[in-house]
Amino acid sequence: MARKTMIEAIRDAMDVMMGRDDDVVVFGEDVGFFGGVFRATQGLQAKYGTRRCFDTPISELGIVGVAVGMAAYGLRPCVEIQFADYMYPAYDQIVSEAARLRYRSNGQFTCPLVVRMPTGGGIFGGQTHSQSPEALFTHVCGLKTVVPSNPADAKGLLIAAIEDPDPVIFLEPKRLYNGPFDGHHDRPVTPWSNHELGEVPEGHYVVPLGTSAIRREGSALTILAYGSMVHVAMTAAAETGVDAEIIDLRTLLPLDLHAIQASVRKTGRCVIVHEATLTSGFGAELSALVQETCFYHLEAPVVRVAGWDTPYPHAQEWDYFPGPGRVGRALLETMAA
């Protein structure tokens, strides 16, 4: 074990895979010499050379388009989109090419591609550096979507993603890059802050895609969360005293529906928490699945707590996404229903 931040764990995952497999290549804007805007790739170019870790032009479409071609011909590209907000020019390549290649070619070609993206708010990045677009990917057949909540999972999930034969969208909560936080909206975490580190196993290991984790056991209510909202949910449950079971989804697709069903059928209540906009967010899919598969076990309506239905408000960032207060009220109201 070693104590690492999420940034260090992600870098370690790429380092491990580049050392094990010469077909793994890492590239993106400022990824090579500079080490990325958040330093996730720092030192990889010096260690593996400019053919394995390199900078690209400022063209997200070009980054992913080149990566799709590389993957089709046997390489395993792990590319970085500097912020998830910048992925829209590349969306056509992700959806129309990467996600479809296996099916369009009847299995003659696959696309073992990972697209890493810093996601979410909490760093005062404003509207163009704070979006949470996970629902745009979970809607697309052929993609896997991953959102880690801690350094150990980030490393194991990224290794699993790089080894996967199909394209994986790997969303990294910026708010967690330099360590966990206590969930409070009035204590912002920036990428340059110094915070408690997480225990991360050394060397190669995987956290299988499609498996969730129970972060807190309980019997009165189930909370479904992922990424930074896992920490918010933990704080809300502790401060309200609600005996909540908290499931960290880890991968949104493939989804660990079995674990969700087992928990909700035990507790009879469900609160879903995510940072992204409420309307058509991934929480709507979770709510539908709980309703469809656990209806006769529910003792109260499924509740969603999410970001506002508005463009990201820089001046009101810490009110925009759910904090322990908003989540705590939802827990108490659900228990009283």
Q: If you write DSSP's letter for every residue of 127-157 in order, what string do you get?
A: TTS----HHHHHTSTT-EEE--SSHHHHHHH
Query: What is the predicted pLDDT for the residue at 6?
Result: 94
Beta-carbon contacts of 281 under 8 Å, excluding residues fewer than 6 positions away, are 135, 274, 304, 306, 307
- Residue 40 CA to residue 90 CA, distance in Å, equals 21
The residue extents of the domains of the chain are 2-200, 213-336
Q: What is the secondary structure of 20-33 as a DSSP string?
A: H-TTEEEEETT-SS
Which two structure tokens, joined as six digits, stand for 163? 């080894």
Q: Evaluate whether 2-200 and 213-336 have a shared fold.
A: yes
305 residue type, one letter: V
Could you tell me which residues come within 8 angstroms of residue 336 by beta carbon, excluding any fewer than 6 positions away? none
Fold of 2-200: Rossmann fold (3.40.50)
pLDDT for res 303:
98
pLDDT at residue number 185:
46
Q: Are strands 270-277 and 221-225 parallel, antiparallel or unpaired?
A: parallel
Predicted confidence at residue 197, as pLDDT, reads 65
pLDDT in tens, the chain (337 residues): 899 999 999 999 999 999 999 999 999 999 999 999 999 999 999 999 999 999 999 999 999 999 999 999 999 999 999 999 999 999 999 999 999 999 999 999 999 999 999 999 887 787 888 899 999 999 999 999 999 999 999 999 999 999 999 999 999 999 899 865 555 544 443 332 334 468 999 999 999 999 999 999 999 999 999 999 999 999 999 999 999 999 999 999 999 999 999 999 999 999 999 999 999 999 999 999 999 999 999 999 999 999 999 888 877 888 888 999 999 999 999 999 9
Alpha carbons 222 and 214: distance in angstroms, whole number = 10
Which pLDDT score is estimated for 320?
87
Q: Which of 120, 105, 41, 132 is nearest to 79 (CA)?
A: 41
Q: Given this model, what pLDDT does residue 90 score?
A: 98
Q: Please tell me the distance from the alpha carbon of residue 13 to that of residue 10, in angstroms, as a whole number.
A: 5
- Evaluate whether 193 touches 238 at the Cβ level (below 8 Å): no
Return the C-alpha torsion angle 25, 30, 36, 37, nearest 10. -150
User: What does the pLDDT read at residue 181?
Assistant: 58
The highest-level CATH class for domain 213-336 is alpha beta
Tell me if 276 sits within 8 A of 171, measured CB to CB. Answer: no
Q: What's the pLDDT score for residue 99?
A: 98
Q: Which residues carry out catalysis?
A: 129
